[in-house]
């Protein structure tokens, strides 16, 4: 496998910006904001990152996010991630953020949004990384709270590509948020949702039929329902798959048992993403390296994954075409 195939231009479509908070930055921000952490060292934080399932991760993830308090904190977080993108051939990124994680502890919505969007603007101008934002609702909270979050965000609607749905999947089916997503679509926003990470195929059907999503985040459990696979293939609904995340959260017991190759062979529009890179052991390049080493992927599979990432992105046709031509050129010289 040529290493240059790993560095093909790519888009990242499933990254929670709060999940890119590295322990070093967690300590630096805690100190800057006069907060104490329940850990003695960066190494102790990393050692705590042993998860049994999604919930055991989310508990630490929400605790870690408390160090984010000022506009500068959100800027620094986003800027650090964009520098990783630039170093790893991620040319376009669509970033999730969880406003409720911050507004519920008294951080005003514009503080969060301004810090992130200023870093995105600098990323475009200084790093050449194009980007968009996806506002996610926390599904363990009520539909009323999600609706209130949407109403508060709509005056800033120009800053978002889409709304999404994340947090604890089991027991919080997409149907719970149908009215919120109806309202978001009526305001011209696209929709995506986490489904089929831990939850059953039925949650993927609900995301498609009730929330009318353009992409499914994770979706690896779709294989349990052949009719669902047929639908996803026929309509080329993208799956934003996160290999290292799935192993860290015990969706698969090891990377060699991940079903990504099988999903590709079924003809699904699979993309590779990092999810929460600071917590799961790597960004885009580390995810690509892990699947390349552990799964029987062909050179064509790697090109397909890069192409799919732009096909699935919320880009204009011209932008998409430009990126696909770059891939064709890069693949031709490997």
Catalytic residues: 197
Task: Kindly report the number of other CB atoms within 10 A of residue 239's CB atom.
Answer: 27
315 Rama class: left (phi>0) / alpha (psi -120 to 50) / beta: beta
| Near ligand ADE in 268-307, by CB under 6 A | 275-276
- Pick between residue 122 and residue 286 the one whose CB is nearest to ligand ADE: 286
Residue 247's binding partner among Zn ion, ligand ADE, none (Cβ under 5 to 8 angstroms by kind) is: none
Contact (Cβ atoms closer than 8 angstroms) between residue 178 and residue 139: no
DSSP assignment string, 224-245: G-HHHHHHHHHTT--EEE-HHH
Residue 81's binding partner among ligand ADE, Zn ion, none (Cβ under 5 to 8 angstroms by kind) is: none
- Asked whether position 245 contacts ligand ADE by CB under 6 A, the answer is yes
- Pick between residue 245 and residue 304 the one whose CB is nearest to ligand ADE: 245
- Asked whether position 197 contacts ligand ADE by CB under 6 A, the answer is yes
CA distance 65 to 61: 6
Residue 167's binding partner among ligand ADE, Zn ion, none (Cβ under 5 to 8 angstroms by kind) is: ligand ADE
- Asked whether position 191 contacts ligand ADE by CB under 6 A, the answer is no
Q: What is the DSSP letter of 106?
A: T
In DSSP terms, 132 is beta-bridged to 94
- Pick between residue 69 and residue 167 the one whose CB is nearest to ligand ADE: 167
- Pick between residue 17 and residue 264 the one whose CB is nearest to ligand ADE: 17
- Asked whether position 94 contacts Zn ion by CB under 5 A, the answer is no
Q: Starting at the earlier edge strand, list the strands of the sheet with 215-218.
A: 10-16, 90-97, 130-138, 162-166, 190-195, 215-218, 239-241, 270-272
Residue 197's binding partner among Zn ion, ligand ADE, none (Cβ under 5 to 8 angstroms by kind) is: ligand ADE
- Asked whether position 54 contacts ligand ADE by CB under 6 A, the answer is yes
Contact (Cβ atoms closer than 8 angstroms) between residue 297 and residue 225: no
Q: Any residues with CB less than 8 A from the CB of 103 and at least 6 apart, and which? A: 109, 112, 149, 152
Contact (Cβ atoms closer than 8 angstroms) between residue 82 and residue 119: yes
Which residue in 18, 94, 275, 301 binds Zn ion (CB under 5 A)?
Answer: 275
Question: How many chain residues bind Zn ion (CB under 5 A)?
Answer: 1
Report the nearest approach of ligand ADE to the CB of residue 126 (Å): 27
**Using CB under 5 A as the criterion, what x/- string covers residues 231-270 for binding Zn ion?**
----------------------------------------
Contact (Cβ atoms closer than 8 angstroms) between residue 12 and residue 90: yes
**Which of these, 61, 65, 60, lies nearest to 29 by C-alpha position?**
65
3-state secondary structure at position 170: coil
**Which of these, 120, 122, 113, 187, lies nearest to 150 by C-alpha position?**
187
3-state secondary structure at position 270: strand
Contact segment (CB under 5 A) with Zn ion among 83-91, 171-179, 274-282, 322-330 equals 274-282
- Asked whether position 94 contacts ligand ADE by CB under 6 A, the answer is no
The residue length of the chain stands at: 334
Report the nearest approach of Zn ion to the CB of residue 311 (Å): 20
Report the nearest approach of ligand ADE to the CB of residue 52 (Å): 14
- Asked whether position 167 contacts ligand ADE by CB under 6 A, the answer is yes
- Which residues lie near ligand ADE (CB under 6 A)? 16, 19, 54, 61, 166-167, 194, 197, 245, 275-276
Q: Which residues contribute to the site for Zn ion (CB under 5 A)?
A: 275
């Amino acid at each position: 496998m040529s290493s240059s195939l790993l560095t093909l231009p790519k888009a990242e479509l499933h990254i929670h910006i709060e999940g890119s908070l590295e322990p070093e930055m967690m300590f630096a921000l805690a100190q800057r904001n006069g907060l104490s952490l329940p850990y003695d060292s960066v190494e102790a934080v990393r050692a705590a990152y042993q998860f049994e399932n999604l919930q055991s991760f989310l508990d630490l993830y929400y605790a870690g996010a408390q160090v984010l308090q000022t506009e500068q904190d959100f800027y620094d977080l986003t800027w650090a991630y964009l520098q990783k993108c630039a170093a790893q051939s991620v040319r376009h990124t669509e970033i999730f953020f969880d406003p409720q994680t911050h507004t519920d502890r008294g951080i005003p919505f514009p503080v969060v949004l301004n810090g992130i969007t200023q870093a995105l603007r600098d990323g475009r101008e200084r790093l050449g990384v194009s980007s968009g934002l996806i506002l996610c609702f926390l599904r363990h909270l009520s539909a009323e709270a999600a609706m209130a979050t949407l109403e508060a965000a709509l005056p800033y609607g120009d800053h978002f590509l889409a709304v999404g749905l994340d947090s604890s999947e089991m027991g919080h089916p997409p149907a719970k948020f149908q009215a919120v997503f109806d309202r978001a679509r009526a305001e011209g926003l696209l929709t995506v949702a986490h489904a089929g990470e831990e939850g059953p195929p039925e949650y993927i059907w609900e995301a498609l039929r009730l929330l009318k999503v353009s992409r499914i985040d994770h979706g690896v459990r779709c294989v349990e329902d052949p009719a669902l696979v047929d639908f996803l293939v026929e309509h080329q609904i993208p799956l934003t798959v996160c290999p290292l995340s799935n192993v860290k959260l015990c969706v698969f017991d090891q990377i060699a048992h991940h079903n990504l190759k099988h999903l590709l062979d079924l003809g699904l529009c699979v993309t590779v993403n990092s999810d929460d890179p600071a917590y799961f052991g790597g960004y885009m390049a580390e995810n690509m390296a892990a699947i390349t080493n552990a799964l029987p992927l062909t050179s064509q599979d790697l090109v397909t994954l890069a192409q799919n990432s732009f096909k699935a992105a919320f880009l204009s046709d011209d932008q998409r075409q430009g990126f696909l031509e770059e891939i064709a050129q890069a693949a031709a010289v490997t």
